[in-house]
């Protein structure tokens, strides 16, 4: 993620950030793009068609799962998602949560296809809807939308914007009443690591003060999320190595600033 370089015999650092997303965030993005019956039942639906006059939600979702099975073509996925979104819009408040989730799926599809602005629009609308819902219902999908929005800004090198969304996602993660799973801990650690990297980048460019100290906070937060995880796992090892490296770079930065 970062490479420290000796500059003219001093301990200065030049930044060289890798703007590819960590695997933990890519995995989360892929969960938004179901291509099987099982995934379709777990996520917002994307049917090939919407049954006319369908009032029963459970019957509708079963039809959705049947339509969604084996649906891998992007054009078909988009058409199905757009029909689902239209359906949930017509349900008004009753369909607000599902509408927000379907918009996230469409955003993930746009992101996969490289149309980032369209993806951002989908995620922003999803977030707008989720902010109107009870916190307990909205927490998980809101955290997901915040992470993906931050990820897109990060890819586009819009660092302050990326940090804004990552920080809000981490706030949800740290305040959650439910114990996180190992995969959720790993993902949160990845986001905290990215947040620290962004603060270090901003500090080097001189865009803000005291960002080195803020980076220390997010490194510590990432380390906290890593506690208790199996250290033999590939992604766990990768996160740990990143944190060790960033601690070393940050220590050098703070020494230079001092």
* pLDDT at site 94: 85
Burial of 92 (0-12, 13-18, 19+ CB in 10 A): exposed
Q: For 5-19, 171-185, 232-246, which range has the lowest pLDDT when averaged over its residues? A: 5-19
* pLDDT at site 210: 60
Please write the tens of the pLDDT for every residue from 190-221. 899 989 988 888 777 665 556 677 888 999 99
* pLDDT at site 207: 53
* pLDDT at site 224: 92
Helix axes 135-155, 116-130, angle to 10 degrees: 160
Domain ranges in the chain? Answer: 1-19+180-258
* pLDDT at site 165: 97
Q: How many other C-beta atoms are found inside a 10 Å radius of the C-beta of residue 84?
A: 26
Percentage of the chain with pLDDT > 90? 37
CA–CA separation, 193 and 188 (whole Å) = 9
CA–CA separation, 154 and 20 (whole Å) = 9
More confident residue, 64 or 240: 240
More confident residue, 18 or 234: 234
Band (pLDDT 50/70/90 cuts) for residue 127 is very high
* pLDDT at site 256: 61
Please write the tens of the pLDDT for every residue from 23-74. 444 444 444 554 433 333 444 443 333 334 444 444 444 444 444 444 456 7
Output the six-digit token pair for 242. Answer: 């990143």
Rounded mean pLDDT, 163-170: 96
Examine the pLDDT at 153 and tell me if it is beyond 90: yes
Burial of 144 (0-12, 13-18, 19+ CB in 10 A): buried
Burial of 48 (0-12, 13-18, 19+ CB in 10 A): middle
Output the six-digit token pair for 19. Answer: 């703007």
Q: How many other C-beta atoms are found inside a 10 Å radius of the C-beta of residue 243?
A: 19
* pLDDT at site 42: 41
* pLDDT at site 11: 36
* pLDDT at site 97: 94
More confident residue, 217 or 14: 217
* Residue 102: DSSP 8-state: H
Mean pLDDT of the chain: 75
* pLDDT at site 49: 38
More confident residue, 22 or 254: 254
Q: How many other C-beta atoms are found inside a 10 Å radius of the C-beta of residue 10?
A: 8
Band (pLDDT 50/70/90 cuts) for residue 169 is very high
């Amino acid at each position: 993620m970062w490479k420290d370089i000796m500059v003219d015999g001093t301990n200065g650092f030049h930044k060289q950030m890798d703007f590819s997303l960590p695997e933990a965030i890519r995995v989360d993005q892929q969960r938004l793009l179901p291509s099987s019956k099982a995934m379709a039942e777990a996520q917002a639906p994307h049917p090939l068609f919407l049954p006319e006059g369908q009032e029963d939600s459970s019957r509708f979702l079963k039809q959705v799962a049947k339509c969604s099975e084996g649906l891998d073509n992007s054009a078909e996925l988009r058409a199905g998602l757009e029909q689902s979104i239209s359906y949930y819009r017509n349900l008004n408040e009753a369909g607000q949560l599902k509408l927000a989730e379907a918009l996230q799926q469409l955003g993930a599809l746009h992101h996969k296809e490289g149309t980032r602005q369209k993806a951002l629009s989908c995620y922003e609308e999803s977030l707008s809807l989720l902010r109107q819902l009870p916190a307990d219902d909205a927490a998980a999908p809101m955290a997901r939308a915040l992470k993906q929005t931050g990820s897109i800004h990060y890819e586009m090198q819009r660092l302050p914007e990326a940090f804004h969304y990552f920080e809000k996602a981490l706030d949800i993660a740290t305040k959650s009443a439910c114990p996180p799973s190992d995969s959720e801990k790993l993902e949160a650690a990845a986001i905290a690591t990215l947040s620290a990297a962004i603060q270090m980048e901003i500090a080097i460019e001189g865009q803000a003060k005291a960002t080195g100290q803020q980076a220390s906070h997010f490194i510590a937060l990432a380390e906290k999320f890593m506690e208790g995880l199996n250290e033999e796992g590939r992604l766990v090892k990768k996160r740990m190595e990143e944190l060790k490296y960033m601690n070393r770079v940050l220590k050098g930065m703070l020494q230079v600033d001092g």
